[in-house]
Chain A
Amino acid sequence: MSPRTLAEKVWDLHVVHQAEGEPDLLYIDLHLVHEVTSPQAFDGLRLAGRTVRRPDLTIATADHNVPTTALDLPIEDPISKKQLEVLTANCAEFGITCYNRGDANQGIVHVIGPELGLTQPGMTIVCGDSHTSTHGAFGALAFGIGTSEVEHVLATQSLPLTRPKTMAITVNGTLQPGVTSKDLVLAIIGEIGTGGGMGYVLEYRGEAIEALSMEARMTICNMSIEAGARAGMIAPDQITFDYLEGKEHAPKGAAFEEAKLAWAALRTDEGATFDREVILDAATITPHVSWGTNPAQVAPITANVPNPEDFSDPAEREAAARALTYMGLTAGMPIKDITVQTVFIGSCTNSRIEDLRLAASVFDGRKVAEGLRVLVVPGSHRVKAQAQAEGLDKIFTAAGAEWREPGCSMCLAMNPDKLSVGERSASTSNRNFEGRQGRGGRTHLVSPAVAAATAIAGHFATPGDLA
């Protein structure tokens, strides 16, 4: 067999049916379900008199619209409340395990999959959410799907798909101290653009990627979709195996050893060719901040807001001009001079324990700038419990930040956590689209370290800038 890439190997392992002129039918190993993109899919099943083929390969949680305030308070928004009730009812009717609001296993769908050990190398994983690419950090082929596809997977545990192209993103060298995987992925998106990854599965490789922890790898793969790629992958290695060992749903004993042998083969073969290759030098990457309204509109924190006239492509120039107007920014102003009113630390990109530890290390012994609102939203109840066991919650609240219940929260403003018109945030989330965090809100994407330092300084800053 000719040399194959990691993505091609995982694809080949899952082909159920192949026919000339038709998409491949791919088996799906794990289907993650949440309240927002599933109700219409369950309705479709009912209308057609279909059942869920493999409830044992399906898991549901409530994350997108759950309030992050105290659990003993009622949900005030009747439409949100209904959507959560519908999730519970649908899961009960079709026999699916569901971790709804308040459950000890509840959390953002892309946080709980890995922490429960359900996300494993070589699997195919889908969810009605574009950030499903997160799970690719384990060497899984994981991607977001629409509601029609959710219904399709519920009914058949498979999807008809066209084989994607492959792109290698090789990051050589070592990240400088204080530079996180969030900065790295923002730099990558800035390099290839929001459409650069369209039609591709990305494979992140190279020395700088191999040095990252699992959680840092998840941050990178999470944002693959912001470069237009449905999936991003990293080959599993000892760091992956160590993360999985002992996790609730990971194989145990002899099964773990058997799995490890299979997982170790999940690497791009020597001599395999990618359709496109991008090479970056980790040493040149510095903390990044987005200045515009798409995730490719980013710059180093030490830079100035760019001038639209500096873009040669007319569409980019027009997009930059529109973005600056929306963001209320002036070309040429130093990014560090931009003041913010809100800081959000959370989302499927940056709400795991390492993110919270990093933020807490910056907050420790300091106070949030006068008048600033700071929300720290753990990715799951397990993350929340771990953070509290380490006393991180005390550090956040002592600094003047709010410590919340888990959920997607202000990443997409479906729950009551929103920006108001013209309000500016530093956010560890993944999208800076117009109105993403609330109508008229202005979002700047940053790492947890920059978010925390910005909360203290009141304007964009790195921990090194703080006195």
Chain B
Amino acid sequence: MKPVTVITGRGVPLQRSDVDTDQIIPSDWLKRVERTGFGAGLFSEWRDDRNFVLNDERYQGASILVAGPNFGTGSSREHAVWALMDYGFEAVISSRFADIFFSNCTKQGLLPVTVDEAVASQLLAAVAEDPNLEITIDVARGTVEAPAIGVSATFVLQPFTTERFLNGWDDIGLTLRNETDLTAFEAKRPGYLPTTA
């Protein structure tokens, strides 16, 4: 993945809780075998509604999705992350992310920013009010700032995840540094464990 250090951009307010990955990218889109082109399917059912926020011209080009609590719940489909990134989002802010979605974000370089519920609500309201509000997210410092409304909050990633974002490290490459440990572990696995052969 590409390194991610500082994201500065405008926000899109998604004022719903429990946004599931079936909404982020409906199952019809999962038949594709490619990794690109999912942006067109992002929230495709909701986008049929002319009043849906992604259809609001004032939010075109915004790179930060500000969502309600429990974002990314449901299916494990990484297509949800591909769709958000392909559409142009670089970060998602919420007070709570579903576990698998969060993990998928960190593998692809979409920054999941978990903030207090009060901060999330304040940002949601502010972004809904002002489509030009500038938000800055600093990965190394773990901060979210919107100076125009006086928001300066922190978010926590595991130190190792922060390093991975900052350096754009490849997980598989990191794991394969432990090749010796893997081989040693395999030699000690109990014989009764099944194989698929």
Binding site for B on A (CB under 8 A): 16-17, 21-23, 25, 27, 29-30, 36-37, 39-40, 43, 48, 50, 53, 55-59, 64-65, 77, 79-80, 82-83, 86, 96-97, 117-118, 120, 123, 128-130, 143-149, 151-152, 155-158, 160, 162, 194-195, 198-199, 225, 228-230, 249-251, 255-256, 258-259, 262, 294, 315-316, 318-319, 322, 412-414, 431, 433-436, 439
Contact = CB atoms under 8 A, between A and B. Distances in A.
A198 B160 contact: no
Contact of B96 (A129, A162, A198, A319): A198
Given A118-B196, A152-B172, A40 B23 contact: no
B70 A195 contact: yes
Given A228-B70, A436-B27, 19 more contacts: A17-B178, A25-B178, A25-B182, A30-B194, A40-B78, A120-B194, A130-B100, A148-B78, A148-B104, A160-B175, A228-B73, A250-B194, A294-B73, A414-B31, A431-B20, A431-B75, A435-B22, A435-B26, A435-B45
A309 to B, nearest CB: 17
A230 B30 contact: no
Nearest to B180: A17
A413 B18 contact: no
B116 interface: no
B98 interface: yes
B129 interface: no
B103 A17 contact: no
B157 to A, nearest CB: 11
A21 B68 contact: no
Interface string B178-196: 1001100110011111111
A6 to B, nearest CB: 18
A50 B175 contact: no
Given A149-B103, A160-B174, A433-B23, A256 B192 contact: yes
A56 B178 contact: no
B50 interface: no
Contacts of B22: 412, 431, 433-436
Contact of B76 (A22, A128, A228): A128
A123 B193 contact: yes
A37 B35 contact: no
A151 B172 contact: yes
Of the listed residues B27, B79, B178, B195, the one surrounded by the most CB atoms of chain A closer than 10 A to its CB is: B27
A255 B100 contact: no
Contacts of A149: 103-104, 107
B197 interface: yes
A194 to B, nearest CB: 6
